[in-house]
Amino acid sequence: PPPPPPLRLVPPPPPVAAPPPPVAAPAAGAAVGAEAAAGAGISTTAVTVTGVAAIVAIMVVAGIQLWQLARFQEALRAEGYIILENPLGLCIGGCHLPSRPIRPAFPDFPFEPISPFPAPRLPSPPPDAIIEWLRSQPRSPTQPQPHPQPHPQPQPQPETTRRRRQQCLERNPTFLVCEDEVDMEEAVVNFLLDQGYGPEDLGDCRGVGSFASGAIDACDAAPGERWHCRVSGGNEVSIFGCLCCREDGTTSYEWRSPHWSINLSRRRPRR
């Protein structure tokens, strides 16, 4: 048989590179976490900016208030007020000061001063020392000070008054001489008091007409007016106003003869 072929060394095949590992797709949870982290970073930045802006605003407001306070203090100083720089410190410091003595301060007499309480009572000073001390003190003026005197109103002379009234009577020969200066309401109230009424029972008064000279005996032939005043209960009081001349020459009314005018049957009895 033929001889076997010689043996040949066959080199080993080159190593085959392993395929790269597959890249896994990011999970949905990881994506959400990244977005949340980004949002948290933005929120933190916004909070920081807002805080800084708030601090700056507070400082600006505080500066404006300090400026206004300084202007207010300057205005007070201009008006004469005293501005305390540290009132709380002064108050606390005053609380720790020793109390002031409550006994009154005695004058500087020329004898032994009174010792502070408690102490034995000293004898009274001699009268001569007190008299000498009083003489050495300055004296106040003892003359009475002038007081403002009221200015009296000028009064007309009797002759002038008599002449003015006479002139009024010459112009109005039938007028009366005014003697009783009582107004109409007072005369009616006095009549009501005599009839058992009170001042609160008087109502409205009105003029109902005038009369000529010689028409009313109550006026002694003087002219005048007739007035009616309402009274509670439905009654009315009639009164005559007689024309008269006053002292100063002017004319007025003298109210006479108040009397019941209507509904006399409803008059109340005396109280």
Give 205-212 contacts, CB < 8 A, sequence gap 24+: 205/229, 205/230
The whole-number pLDDT of residue 175 equals: 93
The whole-number pLDDT of residue 21 equals: 57
Q: Out of 15-19, 94-98, 160-164, 188-192, which region has the weakest mean confidence (pLDDT)?
A: 15-19
Q: Which residues contact 12 (CB under 8 A, 6 or more apart)?
A: none
Q: Is the pTM of this model over 0.85?
A: no
CA angle 170, 225, 213 (to 5 degrees): 45
Model confidence pLDDT, tens digit, residues 54-107: 999 999 999 999 999 889 888 888 888 887 777 777 777 767 666 665 555 555
Structure tokens at 204: 């409205």
CA angle 245, 250, 254 (to 5 degrees): 45
